[in-house]
Amino acid sequence: MRLTRADRRPAAVFFDRDDTLVHDVPYNADPAKVLPVRGARAALDRLRAAGVPIGVVSNQSGVARGLIGLADLRAVNARVEELLGPFDVWAVCPHGAADGCACRKPEPGLVLRAAGILGVPARECAVIGDIGADVRAAGAAGARGILVPTPRTLPGEVAAAPEVAADLAAAVERLIG
């Protein structure tokens, strides 16, 4: 029997940060406002226990807009790790939508950077996120994308997603069974 890509355990799993791992607070510069989404820690711990490297791939345009400083961003990300445990890699795009960078999702740069840091092929990785840009970035990098919709996810994004899971636990179940 030949294994398909969906049957193989990923070399790494990357997560969007806001509204995927933690509740979105627009341009959050305050670590005290970090609140994990239900089930995030358990889903991450399941991957850790299975020996699957995990990371965060996150657009943070508030930096480019001057709404949040890099030190504040680092403090918020440190709080995410304090609450959810350590990540093997963080790849963050501080650019705005008009900057035309290759790292801002839906471009593949963050996924490719995170995979490169871990020394694994992007095509063997998965990306879990809450909007279409997350799964499009995964696809552009050759990775597997799974959408976990929130009330803010657009119906068209759900319809266009290659895979949809009800929550983080279900997404992780798809990846490691």
49 and 9 Cβ atoms separated by less than 8 Å? no
Of 16, 19, 130, 134, which is the active-site residue? 16
| Residue 18 falls in the annotated catalytic set | yes
Q: In angstroms, what CA-CA distances link 127 with 31, 78, 104, 110, 157? A: 24, 21, 14, 11, 15
**150 vs 3, 8, 29, 44, 177, CA distance in Å?**
31, 27, 22, 19, 23
Selected catalytic residue, list 18, 19, 130, 134: 18
How far is the C-alpha of 52 from the C-alpha of 87, rounded, in Å?
11
Say if CB 118 and CB 151 are below 8 A apart.
Answer: no
Catalytic residues: 16, 18
